[in-house]
Amino acid sequence: MDDRIFTATLDWLAFTVPQATVEELGPVIGGDWFETTTGFRGYPTCWLTNQGRHGVGKLGTGAPRNAQEVHVDLSAGIVSTWDEAKIRSVLAWVFARGGHMTRMDVALDDRAAGVSIAQVKQAVDAGQAVTRSQKFQVIAGSSLRSGTSTGDTLYFGSRESQTMLRVYDKRLELEQKGRDEAKDYGVRWELELKKDRAQACAKALLTLPPEDWREFLVGILRSYVDFRETTRDAEPWEKYRAPLLAWWEALTEGFKRCRLVVEKVQQTFDEVCQWLGQSISAMLALAYFRRGEQFLQELIYAGSKKWKARHLAMLHEGRNMRPYVLRPI
């Protein structure tokens, strides 16, 4: 198989640091952070950042047990834009501050959809999935507005466990959302690692050279689930010694040679307005009634002094800024 049709993406990152400030974290993660009026994950104080399309970061702090502890959740829209050097620098900062990972999601994409969701489900039904997981379920997705199917998602494991695998048609999901980049995707194998497993994975990525990351991640995938020429009634030792299914062997070999995708995503002006309405309209209303219109005008003026190239592009050019994907050589 051509290795160019396989890619890996960091899809979620969450961590806790026992002592840090927003001012210290900002340069590490990037973006502009602002305080909200609500808490986050039990922390009374919450800060938000919005980067790129659908990229949201949340920081909770001020807990009574440790007022300087911070917990951070970063969505795919932020962490998928990081290259290997950026990932390593963030992980190194967290561990240097005595922090620990609480969640790390890694997406392995079969962009040509060489293995279908139906093919995977058929193997599971035939008892050919050799896995430590005790739970498997299929959830059918559909659009509430149109009733159109968004495809089945296969779940190995549960949300309560430290490892869970999701397999779904990423292309179909993006098509239903009207996203232009849908054609660049296929079937996604997404590992969600939590607590000790997230911690172990992060430390391994920090230790291993980047060229070995993909083989390591495929090793995690295969240690969790394998597809072999066996049956449901076979003895456990027979299952683990059975030959791999041909499609699974080819797929995992492709994943071992894949490239880490660095996504370059930019927001449209309409998306910025939508995010403002959803995220900070309540605070803007509060500021207006407490401080008046003049205060908001001063904020707007101060904000215009912080414009960067991407802001000016939206203001002046008005071009269609389609998201695109860069694959580093």
pLDDT tens profile 20-41: 999 999 899 988 898 988 899 9
Both tokens assigned to 22: 């927003």
Mean local confidence (pLDDT), 193-218: 94
Both tokens assigned to 234: 């076979």
Both tokens assigned to 36: 């909200």
Q: What is the pLDDT of residue 53?
A: 58
pLDDT tens profile 124-154: 999 999 998 889 999 987 766 777 777 899 9
Both tokens assigned to 32: 């502009």
Q: Outline where DSSP puts E strands in 158-294.
A: 163-169, 187-194, 225-227, 259-260, 262-264
Q: What is the pLDDT of residue 1?
A: 43
Residue 318's H or E segment, with its range, is none
pLDDT tens profile 264-285: 555 555 655 655 665 567 777 7
Provide the pairing of β-strand 6-17 with 259-260.
parallel
Q: Is 194 in contact with 102 (CB distance < 8 Å)?
A: yes
Q: Does residue 323 surpass a pLDDT of 70?
A: no
Q: What is the pLDDT of residue 95?
A: 97
Query: Considering the chain, what is the average pLDDT of its residues?
Result: 85
What is the 8-class DSSP label of residue 228?
B
Length of the chain as a residue count = 329
pLDDT tens profile 70-127: 999 999 989 999 999 999 999 999 999 999 999 999 999 999 999 999 999 999 999 9
Tell me which of 171-180, 197-206, 293-302, 316-325 is least confident. Answer: 316-325
Q: What is the pLDDT of residue 328?
A: 39
Calculate helix-pair angle for 269-279, 281-291, nearest 10 degrees: 70
Backbone angles phi and psi of 259, in degrees to 5: -105, 145
Q: What is the pLDDT of residue 11?
A: 93
Q: What is the pLDDT of residue 294?
A: 83
Q: What is the pLDDT of residue 282?
A: 73
Q: Which of 60, 64, 56, 74 is nearest to 22 (CA)?
A: 60
Q: What is the pLDDT of residue 48?
A: 92
Q: If pLDDT is split at 50, 70 and 90, which confidence band does 251 have?
A: very high
Q: Does residue 174 surpass a pLDDT of 90?
A: no
Backbone angles phi and psi of 14, in degrees to 5: -140, 140
Q: What is the pLDDT of residue 322?
A: 41
Backbone angles phi and psi of 239, in degrees to 5: -60, -45
